[in-house]
Amino acid sequence: MRLFDTHCHLDDEQFDSDRQAVLSRAADAGVETILAVGTTVGSSVQSVGLAAQYKSVFAAVGIQPNYCGEAAPQDWDQIVELSGAPKVVALGETGLDRYWDHTPFDVQEDYFDRHIRLSQTRDLPFIVHLRDCEADILRMLREARARGPLQGVMHSYTGSAAGAFECIELGLYISFAGMVTYKKSDELREVAKVIPDDRILIETDSPYLSPHPKRGQRPNEPALVIHTAGCLAETRGTSLESFAELTTRNASRLFKLRR
Ligand code: NI
């Protein structure tokens, strides 16, 4: 069995003391590939470094919406430059967030727009963080789609089925994290059930929110993506092995990894 954790903050300091062990446990659990996702210039540089260091790790570079407010003007130039580095297979995470108030919303929109435009010129998929602003995200995605094709993923998706289908229509994939495994997440599992086979992905979003039955484990880590895979396989009436294979193939296609 081979699994692909499409969203991990592997540079997080919570992994500093035992990153090698975290990667070994992931390999033992069948996690063949991990996408290390940046949130700032610093974390993007670190993610690129981890990808250079470890065979199973690839990198995404970008500035997460909650950090755009503190980004210096030259930070974006550095993201553009990093996007051409070896093993960088995506841009992000980007997106919009109305829950936290760390970055003025118009600044978030400006950075989301920059990531999408860079995606369109560099032929790299983008990773979307969405919190409490589905309508704003869809509006910006529609505007961008009018300029050209989109490639990307709605990460740690917790929205509606209608929203997911509109994103799919616009060219995106839908990725589920540990939250979908929680007892009270019946509604989200109903959404996960109807995502087309060729557009569904899995992730840990580690070190955050471990999946059931490891919910109390801190930090979350890539090896635990198997629990999210198992829950979704059961929800969708398929085997863990074939769901693992399906989502790994989907991720490899989106991030253009040779297999
Ligand atoms: Ni994230």
Distance from chain centroid for Cα 118: 17
How many angstroms separate the alpha carbon of residue 82 from the centre of ligand 1? 18
Specify the pLDDT at position 208. Answer: 95
Going from N- to C-terminal start, the domains of the chain cover: 3-254
How many angstroms separate the alpha carbon of residue 8 from the centre of ligand 1? 7
How many angstroms separate the alpha carbon of residue 36 from the centre of ligand 1? 9
Q: What is the pLDDT of residues 187-224, one digit of tens each?
A: 999 999 999 999 999 999 999 999 999 998 999 999 99
How many angstroms separate the alpha carbon of residue 197 from the centre of ligand 1? 23
Q: Please, how many CA atoms are within 13 Å of residue 131, restricted to the half-sphere of its CB?
A: 15
How many angstroms separate the alpha carbon of residue 222 from the centre of ligand 1? 13
- The string of DSSP codes covering the chain is --EEEEEE-TTSGGGTTTHHHHHHHHHHTTEEEEEEE-SSHHHHHHHHHHHHH-TTEEEEE---GGGGGG--HHHHHHHHHHTTSTTEEEEEEEEEESSS-SS-HHHHHHHHHHHHHHHHHHT--EEEEEES-HHHHHHHHHHHHHHS---EEETT--S-HHHHHHHHHTTEEEEE-GGGGSTT-HHHHHHHHTS-GGGEEE---BTS-PPTTSTT-SS--GGGHHHHHHHHHHHTTS-HHHHHHHHHHHHHHHTT---
How many angstroms separate the alpha carbon of residue 207 from the centre of ligand 1? 9
pTM of the model: 0.97
Q: What is the CATH number of domain 3-254?
A: 3.20.20.140
How many angstroms separate the alpha carbon of residue 258 from the centre of ligand 1? 24
How many angstroms separate the alpha carbon of residue 93 from the centre of ligand 1? 6
How many angstroms separate the alpha carbon of residue 210 from the centre of ligand 1? 13
Cβ 48 vs Cβ 82: under 8 Å: yes
Kindly give, in sequence order, each residue whose CB lies less than 8 Å from that of residue 181, ignoring residues fewer than 6 positions away.
Answer: 211, 212, 227, 228, 231
How many angstroms separate the alpha carbon of residue 159 from the centre of ligand 1? 16
Extract the tokens encoding 236.
């969708």
How many angstroms separate the alpha carbon of residue 126 from the centre of ligand 1? 12
Cβ 91 vs Cβ 112: under 8 Å: no
Q: What is the pLDDT of residues 107-126, one digit of tens each?
A: 999 999 999 999 999 999 99
How many angstroms separate the alpha carbon of residue 112 from the centre of ligand 1? 15
- For the chain, residues with pLDDT lower than 70 are 259
Rounded Cα distance, 6 and 139, in Å: 25
How many angstroms separate the alpha carbon of residue 7 from the centre of ligand 1? 6
Rounded Cα distance, 188 and 199, in Å: 16
Specify the pLDDT at position 258. Answer: 73
